[in-house]
Amino acid sequence: MVEYDAGDIGPDMSFLEMLDVVNERLMERGEVPIAFDHDCREGICGSCSLMINGVAHGPERGTATCQLHMRSFADGDTISVEPWRARAFPIVKDLVVDRGAFDRIIQAGGYITAPTGSARDANTILISKDTVDTAMDAAQCIACGACVAACPNGSASLFTASKITHLSLLPQGQPERYGRALRMVAQMDIEHFGGCTLYGECQEACPKEISIDTITRMNRDFLRATLSQGHGAIARAE
């Protein structure tokens, strides 16, 4: 841990803007700036993954680090900033971690196979509003990794379940539904994420406030897929 002075910081600055100011002063003195991930700065990309005072993304609920403002802290506070700490997220430098494990979980099954040709009219497949709302809630996941960082077990179940759920609820995701659950859960284990014991810390830390109900849906699909393997159901789903 290295201590830096962050003086003349306005209350309306975002946390990342504060880090920018600190880095500018470091570079003016010829020192190496602090490495941290960022991109959209609009709470969409999920790259602003920081543990702030021991809390993923900081003290404000439902807020990514880039949306956190310095008015959330008192003048003169000492703020502890750390990278995500999880076996599956090796530290690259300073506050930057490698979250490539998430990409590999998506590659294992977070997609649908669609025939070529023009898109079907949206109104030809009727979907209830409740189903659409639940699918969209799960689809909000920005893959920031806060769920992993907050979980005592370092589990990626909320992330994986969100990706499985939003596809499994829609008609387009049905053909590969159960094979998808098997492949993505298997990849999650390969990446050395911990097991889920439903502490619930993941949903508390999630900047999009995704519910652990998605984990229940993932577990149900995984169980059905596992029990159906001997009857050829997975082969048909593929």
Tokens of 41: 């700065």
Give the architecture (CATH level 2) of 15-82: Roll (3.10)
Quickly state the pLDDT bin for 67 (edges 50, 70, 90).
Answer: very high
**CATH 1.10.1060.10 in the chain, residues?**
100-117+125-237
Give the per-residue pLDDT at 122.
Answer: 66
Please check whether residue 80 is in contact with residue 52, taking contact to mean a CB–CB distance below 8 angstroms.
Answer: yes
Q: Looking at the predicted structure, is the pLDDT value of residue 233 above 60?
A: no
Q: How many residues does the chain have?
A: 238
Q: What is the pLDDT of residue 230?
A: 57
Give the pLDDT confidence of 79-113 residue by residue, as tens digits: 999 999 999 999 999 999 999 999 999 999 998 88
In whole angstroms, what is the distance from residue 172 CA to residue 125 CA? 10
pTM listed for this prediction:
0.90
89/156 Cα distance (integer angstroms):
11
Return the structure tokens found at 130. Answer: 């409740």
Best CATH choice for the domain 100-117+125-237 from the list 3.40.50.970, 1.10.1060.10, 3.40.50.2300, 3.40.30.120: 1.10.1060.10
Residue 155 forms beta bridges with which residues?
A: 194
Range list for CATH 3.10.20.30 in the chain: 15-82
- Here the tokens at position 22 are 């600190």
Lowest mean pLDDT among 68-77, 134-143, 228-237: 228-237
Closest CA to 220 of 192, 178, 160: 178
Distance between CA atoms of residues 98 and 84, nearest Å: 10
pLDDT digits (tens, 9 = 90+) for 157-205: 999 999 999 999 998 899 999 999 999 999 999 999 999 999 999 999 9
